[in-house]
Amino acid sequence: MNRRNSIPVTIVSGFLGAGKTTLLNRILSSDHGLRMAVMVNDFGAINIDSQLIVSQTQTTISLANGCICCTVESDLIEQLGRMLDNRENRPEYIVIEASGVSNPVKIANTLRYPQFRDVLSIDSILTVVDAAQFENLEGVMAQLAMEQLDAADIIVLNKIDQVRREQVDALRARWLYPKARLLEARHCEVPLELVLGVGRFNSDGKLKPAESRVPSHSLGITPARDHGAIFDTWCWSSDQPLSLKALRQTLAALPTDIYRAKGVCNIAEVPGQRCIMHLVGNRCEINPAEKWQGTAPFSQVIVIGKRGAIDAAAFQTAFEQCIA
């Protein structure tokens, strides 16, 4: 296959909770007219993201229980291989949503392996930035978010509804990425013609093994390319209905080193409907979604925090106390 016939791939990157799934849902529910495949990666043992994808008409592949650029890279290779082998149903466009802790350059490197080089063409690395949280990130988290930004061909500066105009301007002034297209957005509402099929991938200096700006040994972590060494995750599930008030209190009481929690919840006050829970920093949303449709109601929650921030026994007790 020559490059003109290769399948374009957009790599969606961005720190935990920035709005990647929101963007993916926006793309999928738009009138793109393409046979699209999406790959979603959750860092924890359960893949919540695949449950948060609105449209189920496209092929959705979940890569769970590890970071797409480290431990589940082999899974990515296998799943891409399988997708490409299926000649009758080959996608016309692929969107890969990396987990919030991934380095997109490593994914781009994977897509350049000989078996993919002529079949897939990277359209762009798109990095979603949370305008309200970006400046709050510290240490290795800030470094990771900067690596995601450095890799970007397109930056979606999202959640501008949560900050003042001066903060948006200050963020923009701090970044000097003349080659990246910058789009400001609320709920990732960006014109799709500016993000899909744009051929903006600029490989200059990117496609070398990305060296961490902070040597891992100085952080006291294993030198492996494994983001599992920086973050801890914890999952909880229950088939009992949860009290909305108790769940809100439990989420509000999580330690500050917990960056993200998300889940599908069975809330006692909202019988018959799934509720989607998001915690990003100290902002919490629990919203009703579609009906359970043939599945027995359940709750599945994933919590992601700095290494060592998760006290599994205490979290277990706190979440069990949410049972109505």
Ligand X SMILES: Nc1nc2c(ncn2[C@@H]2O[C@H](COP(=O)(O)OP(=O)(O)OP(=O)(O)O)[C@@H](O)[C@H]2O)c(=O)[nH]1
Cβ atoms 75, 63 nearer than 8 A = yes
Q: Does 51 bind ligand X (CB under 6 A)?
A: no
Residues 284-313 touching ligand X, rule: CB under 6 A, are 285
> Minimum distance from CB of 134 to ligand X (Å)?
12
Residues 54-113 touching ligand X, rule: CB under 6 A, are 100
Q: Does 260 bind ligand X (CB under 6 A)?
A: yes
Q: DSSP strand E in 116-219: where?
A: 120-130, 154-158, 181-184
Specify the residue, 7 or 233, whose C-beta has the smaller distance to ligand X.
Answer: 233
Region binding ligand X by CB under 6 A among candidate stretches 16-24, 104-112, 216-224, 307-315: 16-24
Rounded Cα distance between 39 and 156, Å, is 20
* Chain residue at closest Cβ approach to ligand X: 100
- Tally the C-alpha atoms within 13 A of residue 13's C-alpha that lie toward its C-beta: 29
Backbone angles phi, psi at 140, to 5 degrees: -65, -25
236 closest CA partner among 250, 226, 249, 255: 250
> Minimum distance from CB of 18 to ligand X (Å)?
4
DSSP type of residue 51: H
Specify the residue, 268 or 275, whose C-beta has the smaller distance to ligand X.
Answer: 275
Residues near 174 by Cβ (< 8 Å), separated by ≥ 6? none
Measured CA to CA in angstroms, residue 237 lies from 171, 282, 283, 290, 297 at distances of 38, 22, 22, 19, 11
Specify the residue, 30 or 203, whose C-beta has the smaller distance to ligand X.
Answer: 30
Task: Indicate which single residue of 10, 21, 50, 65 sits in contact with ligand X (rule: CB under 6 A).
Answer: 21
For 248-263, letters b (16+ CB in 10 Å) and e give: eebbeebeeebbbbbb
Number of residues that bind ligand X (CB under 6 A): 22
Task: Indicate which single residue of 8, 14, 228, 241 sits in contact with ligand X (rule: CB under 6 A).
Answer: 14
Rounded Cα distance between 38 and 115, Å, is 19
Specify the residue, 260 or 306, whose C-beta has the smaller distance to ligand X.
Answer: 260
Region binding ligand X by CB under 6 A among candidate stretches 9-17, 58-66, 247-255, 290-298: 9-17
Q: Does 20 bind ligand X (CB under 6 A)?
A: yes
Q: Does 322 bind ligand X (CB under 6 A)?
A: no
Task: Indicate which single residue of 161, 239, 269, 320 sits in contact with ligand X (rule: CB under 6 A).
Answer: 161
> Minimum distance from CB of 23 to ligand X (Å)?
7
Q: What is the Cα 150 distance to its own chain's centre?
A: 17
Task: Indicate which single residue of 8, 17, 44, 228 sits in contact with ligand X (rule: CB under 6 A).
Answer: 17
Task: Indicate which single residue of 27, 36, 49, 53 sits in contact with ligand X (rule: CB under 6 A).
Answer: 49
Rounded Cα distance between 72 and 78, Å, is 10
Tokens coding 220: 């006291």
> Minimum distance from CB of 138 to ligand X (Å)?
18
Q: Which residues sit at the interface with ligand X, rule CB under 6 A? A: 14, 16-22, 49, 100, 158-159, 161-162, 186-188, 260, 262, 278, 280, 285
